[in-house]
Structure 1
Amino acid sequence: MPKAVIVAATRFLRSFSRPGRILVAISGGSDSKGLLVALHSALGAAEFDAFSLVACTVDHALRPESADEAAAVAAFCASLGIPHVICRWQGDKPLSGVQAAARRKRYDLLAETAATFQADCMVTGHTRDDQNETIAMRGARDQGEGPGSAGMAAAMLYGRRIWVLRPFLEVRRTDIRAFLEARGIGWIDDPSNVNPLFERVRVRASLGASDHVSASATAGPKRAASSARAAALLREHLRVHEGLVAAVEATQAARMDDPDWRRALMTVGAVIGGREHLPGRTTIKRLSGFLQSGEAGRMTAGRVVFDRRRSGLYLYREPRDLPVLRIGRGESATWDGRFNVTSLGPALTISAEAEGGAWRQRLIAAGLPPGVAGRASLAAPRIAPAEAGDLGLEATAARLECRIGPYDTFLPGFDRIMADTIALSFGRDRYSAPPVDEVLTEMAR
């Protein structure tokens, strides 16, 4: 029903805590074009006078005709009086994983554009069809304790910079196209959307017109409730020392049959290991068996040592395959996926701490067993001027902060409570709140 498109756009605008400027990511396809037109139409109502729209098209430069298509979108936006910019993906493209790389680059360029326009958020045209495909793809993979049946969140924070909102997650593509056709508006069909080399295209073909995998109305709220409980368990049972060691009470360590605790512990492990994703089901099952046995010992999973002792469980990065990173004066970079380092003076070299360094003494002073402190310190960052000799962290002008791998790039709205708890445990600030009512973000429904 075309009416569903306008209803969804109106409901979305009413969910804002205050009026704002919205950046629409528009490719020229039916979904994003329908979103732009629906929002533009809804803004004609007096109640939304204080809102404004801007738009951005990312030209990935992967097809010869992409530049002309982006120009056509620019002309369409101009006809509606909507400010629009084109951002082009410059440089060489990867030979493999091009869709994942394009997605990351697209969000980077959109975030930069949002900052330029001083937009309060950006919106994308993801539909119920996209949601179905995402759920099917995640179900086919071995994603361990990942989002799974919750699908895409209606709100996602990108790079701690900008909230990405998805107003059309409950709207069918056929309704959007009917909405555009009723207004005599065409759209561009990207040939990659029918290229069977891509997983999503194959899944789309297998699903056809069925709707049997669609996320239920309670999937997001259930995920939010799970994250809230996981956060409570972490606050009660977890302590993080110097961003290097996560310590868990001995009695809690074995409770891996609790799905909320299991996901919480695996997420903390991903942070300790500098990873963005949790281990797969097979690894988690093996690790659960080890922890539930109650026996002392060590097991490594996802670059993390799970060190089980009478005094508790200790998680720390295994001391191998640690990189050497050089950054220029005043530059920032991420070391080992775990620490963001910013030079406040000269060029720096970041490498692993030598045995018996200052980090070991700090961890011992924090009350950790000497054996744990010694092993964990071998994976600690050693920061020194790039041209200098053996100087320690204290003598170096640098800012060091823990990176929260699972959430610092893509944070689903329904995980924000747990993400905040983990961030605070590692000495980081809370994540910013979305500009919309939290009903939309599926955190309090």
Structure 2
Amino acid sequence: MKEDFSLSHAPLHDIDAIELLDIVMADDLDLYGPVALAVSGGPDSTALLYFADLWARQRKRKLLVLTVDHSLRHESSNEAVEVARKVVAMGHTHRVLTWRGNKPATRIQETARAIRLTLLSEACYNAGANTVLLAHHREDQAETLLHRINCNTGPEGLAGMALVTSWNGLRLARPFLSVPKDRLLATCRKAGIDYITDPSNEDLRFARAKLRRLRPALSGIGLTVDRLTRLSNSMSIARCAMSKIVSNWLARYAVVYSCGTCRLDRLALQAEPVYFIVIILRYVLNIAGGCGYPPSSEAMTKLIDWLTGESAVWRRTLRGCLLQVDNADLIVMREEVACAPPVFIRRGQVRCWDGRFLIRNKTNCTINVGSCGTDGWRRIKCSRLTLMLSKELRNLPYPARIAWPVVTNLDGSITLPHLVSSEQDALKSNSIGVEICLMSLQAQMIVGLKVNGKLRM
């Protein structure tokens, strides 16, 4: 089957691009904050910058253009400077977000993606931006599907990338997800815009580059971009329906604590079909562990066998989470050893920690946020902070308690602003001015239905 290329090589018209941007921005109710835009300098994000500039001028919105320098290539810093030059010439604000520290030897692209989203989200929080625009296009969607099929994904994965989704509480919007890449290239050529070519896109060490190389052969046997896109669109409808079903199940049979730990009715869970159990557990693992990508099908199969079998082992770990059978319940909690290192948050700053919590520091001092640990729990008991906690929180398993995020002030005092049960207790515990909330979209969907502890959103 051949694809229709009648429009695929034509530049994207201004009016069409403005309409696509309006669609993804329809649910962003903040009309006064800036709209963030991730621009690497490649042809796709450069075309997005071109149209976002037109859109922002027409809609009288501010743009915050962000370039992530992964520091994986020698040229990357110079490329970021070139993007900054273009953006400033347009009259918009630009920031370079640099990935500092040691780089991994394996799973480079997966790690880089997680770092990129973390840097983007923190920059957006501090700038007051609710949305970041990304330049993914139709071919990116097709490659995502092929990659997920190769990873033995289920129906949820076959939905591909969503037009608008959430990560760490930030809206990720992809206005050009239905637009062929050739139209973005043609737009750059017609507008006379220079762009950068990243050689890593053709590096066959990476799975996506291999899939890109196979695309002509796959199209020859009928696996065209058009067909893959239609499959993604159909499965996204199924994903939305399943998301509502899972949320209703969690509201009925689960408790999500404000520290991120989840307690599920194990008997109710075991009574569900295997595939539905897998989906529920993936949601819960994301809430408790802040997992970026869901666990593999093989890992989930072993987990289901453990949960539904007669194993004498009452605990097991997966993706930085500890799952514990507790009589008729299943408790899913974060492993303390898997928690992210502590972060320092200056006054007025907003940071995310461990991929799970958003922290706003409204005090006049710098604070430190990290996992509680054994020493922290000892100090909490000695300071009598436990008396300000609900009985349910005090009775959570010890591994869950030492993985709590705690705030340490400059004077060394330790506080739990997200766990105290009232504003009066917050005042007593010196927690006023620090806000911590779960960032998981899945947690937010059931907040208010059955969540223990007050989450200040």
TM beyond 0.5? yes
Task: Choose 27-36 or 327-336, whichever is displaced more.
Answer: 327-336
State whether residues 266 and 330 of structure 2, in contact with CA within 8 Å, keep that contact through their aligned partners in structure 1.
no
User: Residue 287 of structure 1 aligns with which residue?
Assistant: 303
2:39 is equivalent to residue 26 of structure 1: yes
Report the CA distance shift for 1:247/1:267 in structure 2 as closer, same or farther (over 3 A).
Answer: same
Alignment of 1:231-270 (within 5 A): 231-240=247-256, 243=259, 246-249=262-265, 251-257=267-273, 259-270=275-286
1:128 to partner: Cα distance? 0.9
Q: Structure 2 residue aligned with 1:307, among 315, 325, 329?
A: 325
Alignment of 1:61-140 (within 5 A): 61-77=71-87, 81-87=90-96, 89=98, 91-96=100-105, 97-111=107-121, 114=124, 119-140=129-150
Deviation readout 1:46-86 (Å, 9 max, x if unpaired): xx34345453333444333334433443444455x342425
Report the CA distance shift for 1:359/1:35 in structure 2 as closer, same or farther (over 3 A).
Answer: same
State whether residues 255 and 292 of structure 1, in contact with CA within 8 Å, keep that contact through their aligned partners in structure 2.
no
Q: Structure 1 residue aligned with 2:233, among 217, 223, 235?
A: 217
User: What percentage of residue pairs aligned between the two structures are identical?
Assistant: 21
Alignment of 1:392-411 (within 5 A): 397=430, 404=438, 408=439
2:398 is equivalent to residue 377 of structure 1: yes
Deviation readout 1:283-329 (Å, 9 max, x if unpaired): 322333454458997352424234163xx223144988588977879
State whether residues 231 and 421 of structure 1, in contact with CA within 8 Å, keep that contact through their aligned partners in structure 2.
yes
Structure 1, gaps ≥5 residues long: 432-445
Q: How many residues align?
A: 407
Rounded Cα–Cα distance in structure 1 between residues aligned with 2:343 and 2:55: 48
State whether residues 145 and 158 of structure 2, in contact with CA within 8 Å, keep that contact through their aligned partners in structure 1.
yes
Rounded Cα–Cα distance in structure 2 between residues aligned with 1:27 and 1:198: 19
Q: Structure 1 residue aligned with 2:445, among 383, 401, 420?
A: 420
Report the CA distance shift for 1:360/1:301 in structure 2 as closer, same or farther (over 3 A).
Answer: farther
1:228 to partner: Cα distance? 1.0
Deviation readout 1:386-430 (Å, 9 max, x if unpaired): 9999x99899656998875xxx3xx6xxxx466421686254649
State whether residues 168 and 352 of structure 2, in contact with CA within 8 Å, keep that contact through their aligned partners in structure 1.
no
Report the CA distance shift for 1:255/1:318 in structure 2 as closer, same or farther (over 3 A).
Answer: same
1:176 to partner: Cα distance? 1.3
Rounded Cα–Cα distance in structure 1 between residues aligned with 2:298 and 2:288: 20
Report the CA distance shift for 1:227/1:192 in structure 2 as closer, same or farther (over 3 A).
Answer: same
Report the CA distance shift for 1:146/1:89 in structure 2 as closer, same or farther (over 3 A).
Answer: farther
Q: Structure 2 residue aligned with 1:201, among 181, 194, 209?
A: 209
Rounded Cα–Cα distance in structure 1 between residues aligned with 2:78 and 2:189: 22
Report the CA distance shift for 1:190/1:282 in structure 2 as closer, same or farther (over 3 A).
Answer: closer
Task: Choose 277-286 or 225-234, whichever is displaced more.
Answer: 277-286
State whether residues 68 and 98 of structure 2, in contact with CA within 8 Å, keep that contact through their aligned partners in structure 1.
yes
Report the CA distance shift for 1:114/1:324 in structure 2 as closer, same or farther (over 3 A).
Answer: closer
Paired residue type of 1:421 = I
1:201 to partner: Cα distance? 1.2
Report the CA distance shift for 1:23/1:118 in structure 2 as closer, same or farther (over 3 A).
Answer: same
Report the CA distance shift for 1:231/1:90 in structure 2 as closer, same or farther (over 3 A).
Answer: closer
> RMSD over aligned Cα, in angstroms?
4.8
TM-score of the pair, normalised by structure 1: 0.71
TM-score of the pair, normalised by structure 2: 0.69
Deviation readout 1:164-183 (Å, 9 max, x if unpaired): 21101111111211222233
SS at 2:298 equivalent: helix
User: Residue 434 of structure 1 aligns with which residue?
Assistant: none
Report the CA distance shift for 1:114/1:386 in structure 2 as closer, same or farther (over 3 A).
Answer: closer
Task: Choose 235-244 or 148-157, whichever is displaced more.
Answer: 235-244
